[in-house]
Amino acid sequence: MNPNPPSTYHYVIRIYYEDTDAGGVAYHANYLRYAERARTEALREAGIPHAKLVTDHNLMFVVHRAEIDYMRPARLDDTLVIETRVTDVGGATVALRQTMRGSDGIRVVVRIKLACVQIGGQKPARIPPRWRGVLDSMRRDDDEDT
């Protein structure tokens, strides 16, 4: 476990041909995939990977709510930096803000609320203490676009 996880995790992704529509613009649904990758890597870097939540606690995070604001399109060969920040931690939920930036500024902002659930039954479950402690340490209350 990372004893001092950053409050903002940065993940870099390049837009490939397979990510785009006929006009060379990143297809809108792909931003959810990019956000998922960045969240997964942020948790791994913080020392609380999804796989350990599954194996140690028979729990997983599922997307409860997703809100996406598209500011500018990403295009073929663009590089995006995805900034992932924890904005709130509840007993069984965690909220994140993921800002995707290109060289010309913000392209997309994704706000995600994850719910911790039991595998199989999908019943809500409290976030285990280790995960909650790390998520709390990563929390940032601001919701700025900077």
For the chain, what is the domain count? Answer: 1
Tens-place pLDDT, residues 48-65: 999 999 999 999 999 999
Q: Does some domain include residue 12?
A: yes
Q: Which helix (H) or strand (E) holds 45?
A: helix 30-45
Q: CATH number, domain at 81?
A: 3.10.129.10
CA dist 64 to 5, 42, 74, 91, 112, Å? Answer: 24, 19, 26, 14, 8
Query: Out of 21, 56, 69, 143, which one is annotated catalytic?
Result: 21
**pLDDT tens digits for range 75-123:** 999 999 999 999 999 999 999 999 999 999 999 999 999 999 999 888 9
21 catalytically annotated: yes
**pLDDT, position 2:** 55
What confidence tens digit (pLDDT) does each residue in 12-41 have? 999 999 999 999 999 999 999 999 999 999
| Structural domain boundaries enclosing 84 | 8-137
- Does 89 map to a domain? yes
